[in-house]
Chains A and B, each alone.
Chain A
Amino acid sequence: MVLYDFLMEIVSKNKPRKEQKNVSDFIRENGFNVGINHVVFRTTRRENSDFLEDDFTYYRNEIAHAEFQNDFAKYETLSSAVTNVLINKLLEVIHFGIQNLE
């Protein structure tokens, strides 16, 4: 969660707002959504919406939702889904963001 917020902070520099859309845009604009071990995009779980969001955003929101609902079982399931592969990828994107800060 905090790592995600850190990424959002980095990619939102020089943007009008600090928002999740900036993360998805950054991933697409820099090609992290293609190739081997790419960041997966999936349909948001947000009600009345059907846009695609990246895995980082998706899991961030799902975990936050589980915490808000105090749903321990869901929280555990989601935590298990957050693999080292996903975390390594998140670190890679953060690292790229830091190295390419304008």
Chain B
Amino acid sequence: MPDTTLKENYIVYKIEGLNNCKLQNVVKLNFDDSIFEQVEISSNLKEIKLYFDSEEDTNNIIEKANTVLFEIFKRLILNKEIDISIPEYNVDVVRIGNEDITQLQINERIAIRDEFRMQRSFDAKVFLEEVLSGNNLVTDANKLLYRKLLSIMRNPEE
């Protein structure tokens, strides 16, 4: 298997609102996607990094990264081990080679009440493999419903 630990191209998403869950032994996980080859999530669930090795157009990369992130983010929100409190994700850094080409920011804000809970701890690799396992949950048939679900949760007044 080729060494894919030295990727220079990546997109970093800053994550907020996924609480009381701590990952140990953070690793990059190989990712079965046509563009993004590895994914890494920080121990505190504050950052998701998508690695790619592609010469594709930057806007195209970001657009596709947003689709992938939406799938991952939705899976994290649906994970019962994580407490949700106004989740939000933003593109933080887009880096190709040694160049920072961050141009775009997106926001998904979802409001659920603040609440203190005991923090839970999981092995990062096991946790991430479980979150990413299985086929894509978002299909053409249900994409609209999941969008509607996130849209409902986005309103902090509800």
Which interface residue of B77, B142, B145 has the most chain A CB atoms within 10 A?
Answer: B145
A-B contact pairs, 25 of them (CB 8 A): A2-B152, A2-B155, A2-B158, A3-B149, A3-B153, A6-B149, A6-B152, A37-B80, A83-B115, A84-B83, A84-B84, A84-B85, A84-B112, A84-B115, A84-B117, A88-B80, A88-B84, A91-B78, A91-B84, A91-B149, A95-B78, A95-B137, A98-B145, A98-B149, A101-B145
A10→B145 CA distance, assembly (Å):
9
CB <8 Å contact, B158 and A101: no
Picked from B83, B84, B137, B155, the residue with its CB within 8 Å of the CB of A99 is: B137
Residues of B within 8 A of A (CB): 77-78, 80, 82-85, 112-113, 115, 117, 137, 141-142, 145-146, 148-149, 152-153, 155, 158
A91→B152 CA distance, assembly (Å):
12
Query: Count the A residues whose beta carbon is within 8 Å of the partner chain — how many?
Result: 20
A98→B145 CA distance, assembly (Å):
7
CB <8 Å contact, A98 and B142: yes
